[in-house]
């Protein structure tokens, strides 16, 4: 493929994904159609289908094209502060447009489309999980966590309340709530004094 043709393809892909995001924000994912996306992007629907075999996979790519920078964990030597920082950034990202409502729709679609679920896990959930687990492992190695604590369970306990509020109760993910989650979790994760 020539450079000119590759650039045109990249530009067309970007235009289609932007049209997808715009339409999803305007009418919601439930009303999103390949035909509407093609019309908004100024391309034929076959052009869309050549790149994405389904509406769900198109939506996944469009949502994941949005900037999620800042979700990597720092290592300041204070696991609670580091987790608080990332959880606060994640809450800010998920708690407001455009990411929040679009991500909620994407999670909903993943419940019905195994391909979307697998791709979402592989491209977003698994990397975020691995990053958090690596930070928890480092904290464990530094003696900040009990040596026998189940880090996979810790991750699920830390992320569960955020998803519960985001997807079920739709209550705000406030700094105070994040602090309460961290306090509750770390009461059980802290190293315990050795008994003789």
CATH code of residue 112: 1.10.357.10
- pLDDT attached to residue 161: 94
- Token representation of residue 53: 């075999």
In a domain, 194, yes or no: no
Domain finish residue from 15, 41, 64: 64
Measured in whole angstroms, how far is the alpha carbon of residue 81 from the centre of its chain? 21
Rounded to an integer, what distance in angstroms lies between the CA atom of residue 37 and that of residue 54?
A: 12
Domain finish residue from 64, 87, 114: 64
Low pLDDT (below 70) residues in the chain: 1-9, 188-196
Domain finish residue from 64, 93, 111: 64
- pLDDT attached to residue 188: 63
- Assess whether 29 and 94 both reside in one domain: no
- Assess whether 45 and 95 both reside in one domain: no
Residue 56: which of 107, 122, 126, 113 has the closest Cα?
113
- pLDDT attached to residue 141: 93
Measured in whole angstroms, how far is the alpha carbon of residue 48 from the centre of its chain? 24
Q: Using CB atoms within 10 A of its CB, is residue 120 exposed (0-12), middle (13-18) or buried (19+)? A: buried
- Assess whether 97 and 144 both reside in one domain: yes
In a domain, 193, yes or no: no
- pLDDT attached to residue 96: 82
DSSP per-residue codes, 20-31? HHHHHHHH-GGG
* Whole-model pTM over 0.85: no
- Assess whether 60 and 75 both reside in one domain: no
- pLDDT attached to residue 17: 94
Domain count of the fold of the chain: 2
- Token representation of residue 140: 């464990």
Rounded to an integer, what distance in angstroms lies between the CA atom of residue 192 and that of residue 15?
A: 55
Tell me the pLDDT tens digit for each residue of 51-99: 999 999 999 999 999 877 778 889 999 999 999 999 999 998 888 888 8
- pLDDT attached to residue 192: 61
- pLDDT attached to residue 7: 60
- Assess whether 138 and 102 both reside in one domain: yes
- Assess whether 93 and 40 both reside in one domain: no
- Assess whether 86 and 176 both reside in one domain: yes
Q: Which residues span the domain enclosing 151?
A: 69-187
Are the CB atoms for 1 and 25 separated by under 8 Å?
Answer: no
- pLDDT attached to residue 149: 83
- Assess whether 53 and 90 both reside in one domain: no
- Token representation of residue 117: 């679920």
In a domain, 172, yes or no: yes
In a domain, 192, yes or no: no
Rounded to an integer, what distance in angstroms lies between the CA atom of residue 37 and that of residue 188?
A: 49
């Amino acid at each position: 493929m020539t450079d000119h043709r590759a650039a045109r393809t990249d530009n067309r892909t970007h235009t289609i994904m932007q049209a997808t995001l715009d339409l999803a924000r305007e009418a919601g994912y439930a009303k999103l159609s390949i035909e509407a996306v093609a019309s908004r992007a100024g391309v034929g629907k076959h052009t869309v289908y050549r790149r994405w075999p389904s509406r769900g996979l198109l939506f996944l790519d469009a949502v994941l094209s949005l900037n999620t920078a800042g979700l990597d964990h720092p290592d300041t030597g204070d696991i609670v502060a580091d987790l608080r920082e990332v959880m606060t950034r994640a809450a800010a990202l998920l708690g407001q447009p455009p990411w929040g409502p679009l991500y909620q729709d994407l999670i909903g679609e993943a419940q019905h489309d195994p391909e979307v679920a697998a791709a979402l896990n592989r491209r977003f959930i698994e990397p975020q999980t691995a990053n958090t687990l690596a930070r928890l492992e480092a904290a464990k190695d530094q003696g900040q966590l009990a040596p026998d604590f189940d880090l996979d369970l810790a991750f699920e306990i830390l992320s569960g309340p955020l998803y519960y509020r985001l997807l079920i109760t739709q209550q705000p993910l406030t700094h105070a709530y994040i602090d309460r989650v961290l306090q509750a979790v770390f009461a059980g994760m802290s190293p315990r004094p050795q008994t003789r």
